[in-house]
Structure 1
Amino acid sequence: MQRGKKVRILGLMVMLHLFVFVVLEVLWGGGREKRRQPKVVVPSGRFWRAFVPSAAYWNREQQKLDLLHNPILKAENVSAIDWFNATTGRGSCEPDVGVRAQVKDYDALPARFKDFLLYMRCRSYPMVVDQPRACEKKPFLLLAIKSLAPHFDRRQAIRQTWGRAGRLANRTVATVFLLGDAARSDHFPDLRDLLRRESSAHRDLLIWDYRDTFFNLTVKEVLFLDWLERRCRDASFVFKGDDDVFVNTRRVLDFLEGLSPARAESLFVGDVITNAGPHRDRKVKYFVPESVFVGQYPPYAGGGGYLYSGELALRLRSVSPEVPLYPIDDVYTGMCLRKLGLAPERHKGFRTFGIQEKYRDNACVYHSLMLVHRRTPQQIIEIWSWISNPTLKCK
């Protein structure tokens, strides 16, 4: 009897524990289910914002392009793009006289700005001199140098030194100089015959039939990217810079050799400028009025010279039609990078603002850097002889 009583008590205790477990599981489980359900957030305002055109002309042009290239609306925008091209003259190089009514202070702007605005939508110009075989041997590094027609001495100094095409450090280097028609602007003499001779001798000039002015450097950028896509799309890396810079090409090649594949693919390095905006002083070379642009510039590399991958160059070519031309070429490139979701990388070896006076005759300083801006042809030849001297010893 005593034993049977103990069994019944034990059975009751087991049932009680089981009951308590079930109750707690239901309570806790229900709480977990409640916690798993996401909280629904109901927006207090409108989901879509009303489109408000900017008061600045360039910003309005960007708004139009953003709308036309919107991936969600792209199917509906195909006909709209055709209409936009037809009504704005995109692709045509006739002056857009309608811009005079769209920029409120147009008549008061400097002549160089009026000229830029009239032809801002023109991105295609005839090529006068081409070099279809410039990249016949796939270059590891393409040197693309912005120059002006009368700068014969600068180009020759570069050919004799850091821009010498061929093999360097067991890598193929190709060099091209980018020019427009200077005779159509700034009262330059007609140098076309001399340029033809120079091109015949060196096979490195790319010349387009457009006005080669400061504000048209952006046109030069777009035309170069078009050319690269057609003639040099297999270049591994591109250096693009001015014809008054000294470049330590060997140091550049050493840097490129040490890159990981992931970093090399989206490389864009230079002397990066951040937190900058347009100058409003009319006396400044980089003056941009509020009627044309408002806002802050994206990070950009100084136009004296920067280095980027060939693959990224092709991506810049693809995205550039989505960004209106801007009168400052290095800022425009920064805008295109931002469109791709990228930003330039700062590298201390790029000195687009020069170096301190006390270091200007120090060979080892140039040996350690990749680029120094503002050097004469004579200085470029002298510096190259310094760093090419096999007896040079630098720590």
Structure 2
Amino acid sequence: MQPVVPSPLWPELSLTLQRFGSKWRISSSLMELSIGPPCSSSSCGMRIPRMHASWRRTKLLGVMMIVNFLIYILVEMTRSYGKWDPTKPHIPSEKFWKKPELSKAFWNRQQQHVSYIHNPLIVPTSVGTTIVSFTEATQSSSQPNYTTKTDHCKPDFTVTTQIKDYSSLPQRFKDFLLYMQCRSYPMLIDAPGVCSEAPFLLLAVKSLTPHFDRRQAIRESWGRAGILANHRVATVFLLGKTGGSDYFPNVSAMLHYEASLHGDLLQWDYRDTFFNLTLKDVLFLEWMAERCPSARFIFKGDDDVFVNTRSILSFLSGLSETKAQDLFVGDVISEARPHRDKRLKYYIPESVFVGPYPPYAGGGGYLYSADVAIRLRNISQQVLLFPIDDVYTGMCLQKLGLVPEKHQGFRTFNIEEKYRESACAYQNLVLVHPRSPQEMIKIWGWISDPGLRCQ
């Protein structure tokens, strides 16, 4: 007879195994079990253990085990908490933010520098005992030069060494890049009386000096200033300077007569080219903020579009205050990328810009609130000029965290030919492009007819 080794989980429980004749007996301080050889009688299955201890002690042992386990957990949690010091900063193993690598494309690289300078979260970093500013770190790179209104901007010839294929670029790109840092020019013609009474809607039309017929057709149709549908409408035409270098005739005397006759021309002393339409937008926003901050809404478009001004006023009157504050609608283009074909008007070389365009409204015309206009004016100081004006406006909106909203009434790519001579086709539209001066007057007469009935 040999004793059985006690279990470590039950330190007070001793077991013994003894043989008595043909039977084996297991005995302990809690219970005793007799085990015999197999039998065939019905009474064999009736043998049960004989309990010598109460169930209370068994339950007590179980409770003690649970309590010990809970104490162990509490002790470990206390140890872990003791290792954390709330007064010391927790430094993650990997960097959350790092300075991006400079782009190889000229515009992107310059914009990275400007964005870095205007980032409110970035402060000069300390290296040893020396404070290194971003300007010092990037002193070899050219920065935007904001000239005063009385200065004549000079070309920046350093760009010729910063773009690898500068010499092979089209001349329009060379001209744009040389003067890209210039964004303030003297004003040649102003219209101080346009906003003497606060306009509900300000129509800002981009035009060229020789386009006398277009401007006059707009004045006689959709751009007529005054009261329309119980709202005050004002109109200005945005002009640069055209000269002999671009083979334009000298019409300056006629232009000054037009300005004195109508008082609605705004002209700045810069070269009026396709790539400078962006500059025209920036200069207008400055003028609007200084001379016409009382305007509530602004429509800005080209002088070859037809605009249903009544439709615009009806749309604006139905807006909620919240919707009106962040309004920017037009014919929105999304997921566009630069054209790389040199034969196209909108060609952008890879050495100048890389990446997709943000959502933007086609430059034929779009509608926005004066609140958005002020924000665009402010944020434009942090976005470098870009050769395509409507894309540039999209870049500024993106930086503001705004997305232009698509409006089905803006048809910058015309309407189906079968509807072009139908008066009712224009009744619910906002804008159609393109239209000649004669067509503008004709269509305005159609939709102004009080007898017009459309389904």
TM-score by length of 2: 0.76
Residue of structure 1 aligned with 2:311, choices 241, 248, 251: 251
Residues 214-363 of structure 1 aligned to structure 2 (within 5 Å): 214-363=274-423
Secondary structure of 1:240's partner? strand
2:336 and 2:368 map into 1 onto residues whose CA distance is: 22
**Structure 1 residues not aligned, in runs of 5+:** 1-11
- 214, 220, 228: which one aligns with 1:154: 214
Q: Is the CA contact 1:183–1:191 (under 8 Å) kept in the aligned structure 2?
A: no
Divergent runs of 4+, >6 A: 75-79
Q: CA deviation at 1:185?
A: 4.5
Cα distance per residue 1:274-295 (max 9 Å; x no partner): 0101100000000000000000
1:138 aligns to 2:138 (yes or no)? no
2:95 to 46, 64, 70: 46
The answer to whether the 8 A contact 2:183-2:279 is kept is: yes
Percent of pairs identical after alignment? 60
Deviation string 1:358-384 (CA, Å, 9 cap, x unpaired) is 110111110010100100000000000
Q: How many residues are paired up?
A: 370
Q: Distance in 2 between matches of 1:356 and 1:263?
A: 31
Asked if the contact 2:142–2:158 (Cα under 8 Å) also holds between the matched residues in 1, the reply is: no
SS of 2:177 mapped into structure 1: helix
CA 1:47–1:319: 2 relative to 1, 3 Å: same
Whichever residue aligns with residue 444 of structure 2, its letter is W
Query: How many angstroms does 1:44 deviate by?
Result: 5.6
SS of the equivalent of 1:150 reads coil
Aligned AA for 2:304?
Answer: D
Question: Within 1, Cα distance between the matches of 2:122 and 2:390?
Answer: 30
Partner amino acid, structure 1, of 2:146:
G
Where does residue 107 of structure 2 map in the other structure?
A: 58
The 8 Å contact of residues 278 and 296 in structure 1, kept in 2 or not, is answered as yes
CA pair 110-347 structure 1, distance change in 2 beyond 3 A = same
Greater helix content: 1
3-state SS, counterpart of residue 112 of structure 1: helix
Distance 1:317 1:99, change over 3 A: same
User: Is the partner of 1:218 in helix, strand or coil?
Assistant: helix
- Report the more deviating stretch, 382-391 or 49-58: 49-58
1:90 to 145, 149, 154: 145
Give the C-alpha shift of residue 80 in structure 1: 4.2
| Alignment-derived partner of residue 247 in structure 2 | 187
Find the residue that maps to 2:274 and give its secondary structure. coil
How far is the alpha carbon of 1:42 from its aligned partner?
8.2
Deviation string, structure 1 residues 203-257 (Cα, Å, up to 9, x no partner) = 0000000000000000000000010010011210000000000000000000000
Output the CA distance in 1 between the equivalents of 2:250 and 2:101.
48
Matched residues in 1 for 2:170 and 2:98: separation?
Answer: 36
Cα distance, 1:46 vs structure 2: 3.2
The 1:253–1:79 alpha-carbon spacing in structure 2 relative to 1, beyond 3 Å, is: same
Residue 68 of structure 1: aligned partner: 117
Q: In structure 2, what is the equivalent of residue 371 of structure 1?
A: 431
Query: 1:128: which partner in 2?
Result: 188
In 2, the alpha carbon distance for the partners of 1:232 and 1:186 equals 32
* Contact 1:185/1:213 (<8 A) preserved: no
Paired AA for residue 225 in structure 2? A
Distance in 2 separating the partners of 1:326 and 1:174: 29
Partner Cα distance (2:272, 2:200) in 1:
29
Distance 1:42 1:166 in 2: 64
- Is residue 443 of structure 2 the alignment partner of residue 383 of structure 1? yes
User: What secondary structure does 2:339 align onto?
Assistant: coil
Distance 1:78 1:196, change over 3 A: farther
Per the TM alignment, residue 344 of structure 1 is displaced from its structure 2 partner at its CA by 0.3
Larger Rg: 2
- Identify if the C-alpha distance between structure 1 residues 184 and 79 changes in structure 2 by more than 3 Å, giving closer, same or farther: farther
- AA in 2 matched with 1:116: F
* CA RMSD, Structure 1 to Structure 2 (Å): 2.8
Question: In the alignment, is the contact (CA less than 8 A) between 1:88 and 1:96 conserved in 2?
Answer: no
The SS at the match of 2:352 is: coil
Q: How far is the alpha carbon of 1:74 from its aligned partner?
A: 5.7
Tell me how far apart the structure 2 counterparts of residues 357 and 349 of structure 1 sit (CA, whole Å). Answer: 17
Residues 204 and 298, structure 2, Cα contact 8 Å, conserved in 1: yes
Q: Deviations over 1:277-321 (max 9, x none)?
A: 110000000000000000000000000000000010000000001
Give the distance between the partners of 2:365 and 2:170, measured in 1 at CA. 28
> Could you tell me which amino acid in structure 2 is paired with residue 47 of structure 1?
F
For residues 317 and 185 of structure 1, the distance between their equivalents in structure 2, rounded to whole angstroms, comes to 31
C-alpha distance in structure 1 between counterparts of 2:320 and 2:100, whole Å: 44
Partner of 2:235: 175
Give 1:147 deviation, angstroms: 0.2
C-alpha contact 1:185 1:211 (8 A) present in aligned 2:
no
Q: Distance in 2 between matches of 1:143 and 1:165?
A: 9
Partners of 2:352 and 2:221 lie apart in 1 by: 41
Contact 1:166 1:172 in 2 (8 A): yes
Greater relative contact order: 1 or 2 (C-alpha under 8 angstroms, separation 6 or more)? 1
C-alpha distance in 2, partners of 1:393/1:56?
A: 56
- Cα offset for 1:48? 3.8
1:202 counterpart = 2:278: no
Any conservation in 2 of the 1:89–1:96 contact (CA below 8 Å)?
no
Give the match for residue 8 of structure 1: none
Given that 2:185 and 2:268 are in contact with CA atoms closer than 8 Å, whether structure 1 keeps it comes out as: yes
